[in-house]
Structures are given as C-alpha cells and as structure tokens.
C-alpha cells in the first residue's frame, strides 16, 4: 500500500436481530467486533418480531458504536470510512443502521459505503485470509438465503443458483419448531442430531436435478408429515434420529450442487459462509468436497459465521479500494440481491 496510514473502517450491521459495530484495519485486522444480540427477546415469540427488532436496534446502536471504538482504541475522528448493511433484511431494522451511518459520514465528512449483507457473510472468509485464492466458489447459507456464488474478483459476485423456496436456515428453524426446540432452531437441531442416527429416516434431497438450485420445502414437509402421522398413529418417533436424518439430508443436498458446479472447473478455491455455516456437519461435508476437488477450503470461525459488523467492514474495505461510495440518498433495500449493488444499481437506473 502506497500510503502507510491504515484504513480504519467502522462497520455497522442491523439487518435482523443483532446490533453490531466493528472497527477493522486494512480489511483484515479486527480491532473490535461488538454484538448486542436480541435473540433472548425474540425467542419469547418463537421468531424475529420486526417492530421489536427496530426498537431494540435504536436503543442499542449508539452504545454499541461507542464500545466498538473504545475497544479498538480509536476515536471517531480517526475512522477512514463507514460501511453499513443496506440490504437485504428487515426494512425497519436496516434503516436504523443506514441512518446512523449517514449521520456519521455527514458529520465526519468521510466516505459512506453500502454493503450487501450476503457479501458481508462471504467476506468473513477474507477477514481470516485476505490472500485466499480467486476465482472462488462460495456457498452462502443463512436464515433468509441459500445461494451459490462465483467470486471472480473482489466484490465481483455472481449468483449461480439459489433456493426456489425456503432458505436452508429457515428449514432448520421450521424443523426445530416441529420438534419443540427453541429459536433459533439451527443450533438446537444440531445439538439434538449429535445423539441421533442420520440414516434412520429416508428424506428427499433438496438439490434440484440438473440445476444448481435447491428446494427445501419438500424436505421440511417430510419432517412435518412424519411427525404428524406418528402422532395420529400413537407412535413415538425418535427426535434425535429425525434431527440427524434431516441435517444429513441438508448437508448432502448442499454438497451435491457444490459438486455439480466445481465439476465444471475454473475455480481456485471453495468457501462456505452465513449463519448455517456454523453447523459442524456442514463444515465437515464441504471440506470433504474441497478435498475431492483438491481445492483449498475456507469457512469463517464460528463467531464470524452469524451476523456481525466485522464482516461488513471487511466487505466495505474492498468497495473502499474500488472507490464505490454511496451518497446521502442511501436507503434500506430489504430485497437487495447480490450483483445489484448500491450505488451501481442507482447509477444504472439514472442513466436509463
Ligand atoms: O446469517 P444469520 O446469522 O442470519 C441471517 O442472515 O439470516 O443466520 C441465521 C440462521 C438461522 O436460521 C439459524 O437457525 C441458522 O442460521 N444457524 C444454524 C446454526 N447456527 C445458526 N443452522 C444450523 N446449524 C447451526 N449450528
Ligand atoms: Zn446473516
């Protein structure tokens, strides 16, 4: 880097149920990563309640930023740029982060960077290893998304295939509900699955034949129906076996599409990202696929898999290097897709 002054990015993440602020130096050194979670509050309702989420973000955001700066040992005046999640997510929740970031960027006269939440998840991998080889194939699995992404160059992300209905994390959450487990369902299902037999129940694959797409609704319905029929017949199902069989089918279905894509060639590495990437069976399953194809494999450490602002600051750093800044008209984009990035999308619209 020609300039020896470090690039300090303040990242903000408020897209769902975590209020998070982080300071990251030069895209990879995490100086702080504060997360104020709302999970215990939403657990009372069995899922995220949007209005409660917005209010909680509002209450927490300033304090979380102050703590992140304090822990990093830097002042606001030393921050180079602010990176904020502008979508996808809950609109009211996103707006808290976006308006806070706009106010700070305006007051400090520093660049504002819009980050796609899913790009953030991917960039948790580059936080760990900025030299991780490209082009890379990344499987992104979260509560709202299941996408297979090609990363040709930094922040050049292309969706190759997605789920046609439920996201994989959503399937975990719904199956957890059927099994009477608390929100968020993924970690609870994983824990139960550890005591079960993954071959106990036959379940349909979520991978769509001849496509790099998924459909998780059939798999979810199979679990619901098994449970329902057993209840009607007065039978007792083994919940651990059910959880283990479901989890194994999710892992196999995700791995199947990764294999299809890697089989086409042209990739230098494989990555896994998103909240569901915290699942140990999935981490192991995808590592095996990478080994089959003799590719290096990367997955974020457990604490960087679920929502956090360090991943947003890391992704923001690469947009900073490309000079892709947002202006003060930045909004929250609840359905933002990868590849329709702000401000590029707005420029395109304006030029029509
Ligand atoms: O990425 P994330 O924190 O938030 C979204 O952007 O959606 O992902 C949350 C999702 C939830 O559906 C949760 O149940 C799932 O990730 N999850 C897991 C595990 N930990 C979190 N799913 C399976 N196994 C886990 N260990
Ligand atoms: Zn997420």
Ligand nearest to the CA of 39: 1
Residue 182 above 70 pLDDT?
Answer: yes
Out of 89, 115, 142, 173, mutate this one to test ligand 1's pocket (max ligand atoms within 8 Å of CB): namely 142
Rounded percentage of the chain residues whose pLDDT exceeds 70: 97
Helix or strand (DSSP H, E) at 205: none
Closest-CA residue to 307 (of 61, 19, 86): 19
- In angstroms, the CA 310 to CA 68 distance is 10
Give the tokens for residue 131: 């030299």
Closest-CA residue to 121 (of 254, 11, 13, 273): 273
Answer whether 65's CB lies under 8 Å from 21's CB. Answer: yes
pTM, to two decimals: 0.93
Read off the pLDDT of residues 247-270 as tens digits, 9 standing for 90 and up: 999 999 999 999 999 999 999 999
> Domains of the chain (ranges plus CATH)?
8-123+305-346 (3.30.420.40), 133-295 (3.30.420.40)
Read off the pLDDT of residues 187-200 as tens digits, 9 standing for 90 and up: 999 999 999 999 99
Answer whether 27's CB lies under 8 Å from 17's CB. Answer: no
SS3 assignment, position 126: helix
pLDDT the model gives residue 282: 98
Read off the pLDDT of residues 90-117 as tens digits, 9 standing for 90 and up: 999 999 999 999 999 999 999 999 999 9
Ligand nearest to the CA of 273: 1
Give the tokens for residue 230: 């057993």
Give the tokens for residue 24: 């990251």
- In angstroms, the CA 10 to CA 25 distance is 9
Ligand 1 centre and the CA of 183: distance in Å? 10
Residue 339 above 90 pLDDT?
Answer: no
- In angstroms, the CA 249 to CA 196 distance is 13
The whole-angstrom distance between residue 285's C-alpha and the CA centroid of its chain comes to 18
Residue 129 above 70 pLDDT?
Answer: yes
Answer whether 128's CB lies under 8 Å from 299's CB. Answer: no
Helix or strand (DSSP H, E) at 312: helix 309-322
Strand extents, DSSP E, 57-164: 81-87, 112-116, 136-141, 146-153, 156-162
> Whose C-alpha lies nearest to ligand 1, atom 2?
275
Residue 316 above 60 pLDDT?
Answer: yes
- In angstroms, the CA 121 to CA 130 distance is 14
Closest-CA residue to 170 (of 158, 161, 183, 180): 183
pLDDT the model gives residue 347: 47
Count CB atoms within 10 A of the CB of residue 165: 14
What atom in ligand 1 is closest to the CA of residue 183?
A: 14
SS3 assignment, position 94: helix
Ligand 1 centre and the CA of 240: distance in Å? 19
DSSP state of 36: E
Calculate mean pLDDT across residues 289-299: 98
Q: How confident is the model at residue 236 (pLDDT cuts 50, 70, 90)?
A: confident
| Ramachandran angles phi, psi of 122, nearest 5° | -60, -45
Name all residues whose Cβ lies below 6 A of ligand 1: 16, 142-144, 169, 172-173, 184-187, 190, 274-276, 278-279, 306-307
Ligand 2 centre and the CA of 119: distance in Å? 10
Residue 350 above 60 pLDDT?
Answer: no
Ligand 1 centre and the CA of 10: distance in Å? 24
pLDDT the model gives residue 3: 55
């Amino acid at each position: 880097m020609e300039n020896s002054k470090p690039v300090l990015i303040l990242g903000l993440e408020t897209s769902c149920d975590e209020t998070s602020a982080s300071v990251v130096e030069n895209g990879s050194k995490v100086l702080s990563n504060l997360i104020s979670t709302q999970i215990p509050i939403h657990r009372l309702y069995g899922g995220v309640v949007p209005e409660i989420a917005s209010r909680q973000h509002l209450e927490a955001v300033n304090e979380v930023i102050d703590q992140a700066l304090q822990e990093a040992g830097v002042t606001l005046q030393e921050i180079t740029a602010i990176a904020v999640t502008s979508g996808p997510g809950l609109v009211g929740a996103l707006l808290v982060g976006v308006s806070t970031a706009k106010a700070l960027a305006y007051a400090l006269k520093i660049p504002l960077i819009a980050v796609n939440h899913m790009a953030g998840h991917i960039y948790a991998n580059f936080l760990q290893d900025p030299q991780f080889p490209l082009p890379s194939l990344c499987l992104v699995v979260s509560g709202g998304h299941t996408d297979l992404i090609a990363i040709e160059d930094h922040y050049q992300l292309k969706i190759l295939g997605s789920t046609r209905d439920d996201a994989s994390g959503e399937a975990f959450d719904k199956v957890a509900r059927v099994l009477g487990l608390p929100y968020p369902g993924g970690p609870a299902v994983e824990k139960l699955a550890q005591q079960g037999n993954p071959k106990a129940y036959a379940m349909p694959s979520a991978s769509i034949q001849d496509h790099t797409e998924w459909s998780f609704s059939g798999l979810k319905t199979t679990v619901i129906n098994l449970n329902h029929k057993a209840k009607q017949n007065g039978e007792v199902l083994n919940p651990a076996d059910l959880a283990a069989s479901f989890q194994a089918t999710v892992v196999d279905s995700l791995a199947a599409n990764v294999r299809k894509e890697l089989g086409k060639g042209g990739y230098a590495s494989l990555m896994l990202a998103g909240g569901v990437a915290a699942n140990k069976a999935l981490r192991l399953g995808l590592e095996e696929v990478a080994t089959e194809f003799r590719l290096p494999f990367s997955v974020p450490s457990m604490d960087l898999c679920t929502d956090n602002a360090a991943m947003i600051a890391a992704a923001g750093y690469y947009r900073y290097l490309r000079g892709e800044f947002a202006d003060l008209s930045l909004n929250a984009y609840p359905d933002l897709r990868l590849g329709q990035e702000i401000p590029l999308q707005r420029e395109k619209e304006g030029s029509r």
